[in-house]
Amino acid sequence: MNANGFSHATTFSMIIAQLLALECQNKGLTLKDFFEKSGISQPTWSRIMRGQSKMSLEDLKNGCDSLELQMSMIIDRAETIAKQLPKEDVKIVNPKDIQADQNNGDLTKFVLASAALAFLISKLMK
């Protein structure tokens, strides 16, 4: 546990990306197809999923449009999940804070791996 009382960290963009990935799964769409339809590049997606970058509004809109979803629905779900994550010992942080901590050698913020975040999101959505 770090000084802030949390063992793990994630970003709001990581939550959004996980929700979009779950929607891809639900619709039988591969991530490769999602990238092609949405115009989001695989490297950008990877940086978002590692907490190294924020998802832009343009990427969110394109991702939602490609899945025929309303942006507001994804944002509402993400906000609901973000409010529940502290109970699971996960803090929402800014990607630049993660980068700064890593650059300074401070590893007290353990970024939750995408598989673990996906599991938590699935659990919290029930």
Q: Where are the domains of the chain?
A: 8-125
List of long-range contacts for 55-60, beta carbons under 8 Å, 24+ apart? 55/13, 55/16, 55/17, 60/16
Say which CATH superfamily domain 8-125 falls into: lambda repressor-like DNA-binding domains (1.10.260.40)
Categorise residue 33: left if φ over 0, alpha if ψ from -120 to 50, beta otherwise.
alpha
Q: Mind listing the pLDDT tens digit for each residue in 68-79?
A: 999 999 999 999
- pLDDT by residue for the chain (126 residues), tens only, comes to 444 556 788 899 999 999 999 999 999 999 999 999 999 999 999 999 888 889 999 999 999 999 999 999 999 999 999 999 999 888 888 877 666 555 555 544 556 566 677 766 777 776
pTM over 0.85: no
